[in-house]
Chain A
Amino acid sequence: MSTDAVHSGTARGPAGPGGPEDIPGTAPGRRRPGLLRRLRRNRLAFTGAVIAALFVLAALAAPLISPYDPARADFGSALAPPGWSHWLGTDDLGRDQLSRVIHGARASMQVGVLAVALAFLAGVPLGLIAGYYERFADPLVSRITDTLLAFPFLVLAVGLAAVLGPSLLNATVAIGVSLVPQVIRVTRAETLRLKHLDYVGAAVASGGGDGVVLVRHILPNAASALLVQATVGVPTAIIGEALLSFLGLGVQPPDPSLGVMLSSAQPYIAAAPWTAVFPGLAIVVATLAFNLFGDGLRDVLDPRGATR
């Protein structure tokens, strides 16, 4: 049981962009192929993983694969419907929609990754401490969580925008902070479960200090639950970025973002519906892909949460 937990803890990003990587001194190869195979057997999750990977690749290679400069206006072909020269049509300034969607995906991924990283940087230590020092730290961390939860994500974003001015960075911070409570909760639950296991007792008995036990023994074994949490956090952040940019609180025009595109399309939706349809479709496909991948990953890595 406990060896199983140790192995699953090291299975990092089996279908991530970089593919499986070798982590010296950890899981024997037996477990990882099993994981991949199980993920591949779940067709929906596998499709989700492939689309999510394509989305990440498109975001990374945006300047290379965009057919046009996303900022170049061409008033001669403003609001052109989808066709051979502009696959997804053009917007009110004649800018190529496909190029803007690809660059918008870049902003989405940037916020997705940064916000989740921020949430983990703040949430994981707090969750570890709350779970490990149940008696002293847990009540305090619970109050911090409650306080964070009392500011709904958009209210927080609005407050930050009011204080610091609307920008992509502030939007990222607001999204990251709003993801923190969930990260705390998952890390805390994992820590509570793991700290009573025999191997942690053995680590303590052989003289491991609290820091060593937490970082080297508990954290790696909580990794699979956290990985699932990260996968679920990315689509939330993507929607969050689009939403804040749509409201004018995130990416500022003329920079491309899927939310900015939707917002500037609003006056033209009757005459040029494609200006609103494609950016939204890109958001849906991306979030759907990450959600399917996350669901599948949860089924494979975290059987206890599989029914959820």
Chain B
Amino acid sequence: MTRYLLRRLGQSALTLVMVSIVVFAGVRAMPGDTARALAGEETTPEALDAIRRQYGLDQNIAVQYARYVENAVSGDLGTSARTGLPVTDGIFDALPVTLELAFLSLLLAVVVGIGAGVIAAVRRGRPAEWIANTVALLGLSVPNFWLGILLILAFAIAVPVFAASGFVPFGDDPLENLRRMVLPVVVLGSGLAAVVMRQTRAAMLESLSADYVRTARAKGLLPHQVVGGHALRNSLVTVVTVLGLQLGHLISGAVVTEQIFVLPGFGKLMIDAVFTRDYAMVQGVVLFTATGYILVNLAVDLLYSVIDPRIRLGGAQ
């Protein structure tokens, strides 16, 4: 276990280093002079030199990279050109919105996806499976931004039950917060629920035909004990893996969803930064997202070595 843990940690650290190099190089690859971009419209050669010295742009690339990493590790991701505030402030203001959206969407995806997947597998060949499969296929094929527009059309304009835009912090008014989150969560969670459903169904079908399930049935366990305790438990590894792999989609989806429903989250921060040419913000957000992605993936890996001991043993050999 320790060896597996160490190897996995080492891999993650290496990926982190590569990610930081890519982000760093990406900003260097930008057309034009960084110092000139930082200085703005009116500049003198002296001012440019001063900026180069201040940001270490006169030093060689390795020193610049080291400095960049050092700053990033100590929590300094630069200053936003748009607001004049530290990039980290912008990130931490936006983070709670996106985390709430992502958490509720994951919850929806897991509850609906696993539930529908189990039903589809247990009721194989009956209308319930057919309906679940069709809905899942639609969920995969309907782009979430279009679903968002349709839901606004239906539930915010035609029958105004939910709000189409805006965010109210949970702490200020929990009910209003949830009322405004319903549509975004459905938009972000439905595609994910479809993926989870398909994987759960496939894994359940495999488990249900396994010998140990027949044994469990033969020794007289009730159907719900067999399905819940044996088959589903063994299918969960696949589901956790899939959720880990879907993390990228969740992040991308959150960006779009926030854009449609005008939620002041991470995605909106990022898109706004691109259109206002706020390079420090883009760089900071990209680095932060990639790091978060690597860490969550590491956590998912460790989590399923806990769920399934075979993975742990396989890694230790």
**Which residues on A are within 8 Å of B, measured CB to CB?**
142-144, 146-147, 149-155, 158-159, 161-164, 166, 235, 239, 242-243, 246-249, 259, 262, 265-266, 269-270, 273, 276-277, 279-280, 283-284, 287-288, 291-292, 307-308
Going nearest first, the 9 A-B pairs with the smallest beta carbon separation are: A280-B146, A154-B252, A152-B248, A288-B141, A152-B251, A150-B290, A146-B15, A162-B282, A147-B18
Interface residue stretch chosen among B54-62, B71-79, B103-111, B266-274? B266-274
A239 touches B143 (CB 8 A): yes
Given A152-B289, A158-B270, A158-B286: A269 touches B143 (CB 8 Å cut-off): no
Other-chain residue from B202, B256, B273 in contact with A243 (beta carbon distance below 8 A):
B256
Report A-chain residues with C-beta under 8 Å of the C-beta of B294. 146, 150
Return 7 A-B CB contacts under 8 Å, by A number. Answer: A143-B15, A147-B18, A149-B248, A152-B251, A155-B251, A159-B26, A280-B150
A308 touches B202 (CB 8 A): yes
**A281, closest chain B residue (CB):** B146
Which chain B residues numbered 209 to 266 have a C-beta less than 8 Å away from chain A?
247-249, 251-252, 255-256, 259
Chain A min CB distance to B16 (Å):
8
B167 within 8 A of A: no
Other-chain residue from B29, B146, B252 in contact with A155 (beta carbon distance below 8 A):
B252
List 16 other contacts, CB 8 Å, given A150-B294, A262-B149, A284-B143.
A143-B11, A143-B18, A147-B22, A149-B297, A150-B290, A151-B293, A152-B252, A152-B289, A154-B255, A161-B274, A164-B31, A242-B145, A266-B149, A276-B149, A284-B138, A284-B146
Q: How far is the CA of A154 from the CA of B267 in the complex (A)?
A: 9
Q: How far is the CA of A158 from the CA of B275 in the complex (A)?
A: 10
Query: How many residues of B are counted as interface, with CB atoms below 8 angstroms from the partner's CB atoms?
Result: 53
* Chain B at the A interface: SS class: helix
Chain B min CB distance to A272 (Å):
11
B141 touches A235 (CB 8 A): yes
Given A248-B275, A280-B143: A159 touches B248 (CB 8 Å cut-off): no
Other-chain residue from A163, A273, A288, A308 in contact with B29 (beta carbon distance below 8 A):
A163
* Chain A at the B interface: SS class: helix
Which chain B residues numbered 1 to 56 have a C-beta less than 8 Å away from chain A?
11, 14-15, 18-19, 22-23, 26-27, 29-31
A162 touches B273 (CB 8 A): yes
**Which residues on B are within 8 Å of A, measured CB to CB?**
11, 14-15, 18-19, 22-23, 26-27, 29-31, 137-138, 140-143, 145-146, 149-150, 152-153, 157, 202, 205-206, 247-249, 251-252, 255-256, 259, 267, 270-271, 273-275, 277, 279, 282, 285-286, 289-291, 293-294, 297
Report B-chain residues with C-beta under 8 Å of the C-beta of A288. 137-138, 141
A152 touches B293 (CB 8 A): yes
Report B-chain residues with C-beta under 8 Å of the C-beta of A150. 15, 19, 290-291, 293-294
Report B-chain residues with C-beta under 8 Å of the C-beta of A291. 137, 140-141
Report B-chain residues with C-beta under 8 Å of the C-beta of A159. 23, 26, 282, 286
**B247, closest chain A residue (CB):** A152
Q: How far is the CA of A92 from the CA of B297 in the complex (A)?
A: 45
Given A143-B14, A276-B153: A155 touches B274 (CB 8 Å cut-off): no
Given A154-B256, A163-B26, A288-B141: A147 touches B19 (CB 8 Å cut-off): yes
Report B-chain residues with C-beta under 8 Å of the C-beta of A279. 146
Other-chain residue from A152, A163, A262, A287 in contact with B145 (beta carbon distance below 8 A):
A262
Report A-chain residues with C-beta under 8 Å of the C-beta of B290. 150-151, 155
Other-chain residue from B202, B247, B279, B286 in contact with A307 (beta carbon distance below 8 A):
B202
Given A152-B249, A152-B289, A276-B149: A158 touches B271 (CB 8 Å cut-off): yes
**A144, closest chain B residue (CB):** B18
Q: How far is the CA of A98 from the CA of B279 in the complex (A)?
A: 39
A273 touches B153 (CB 8 A): yes
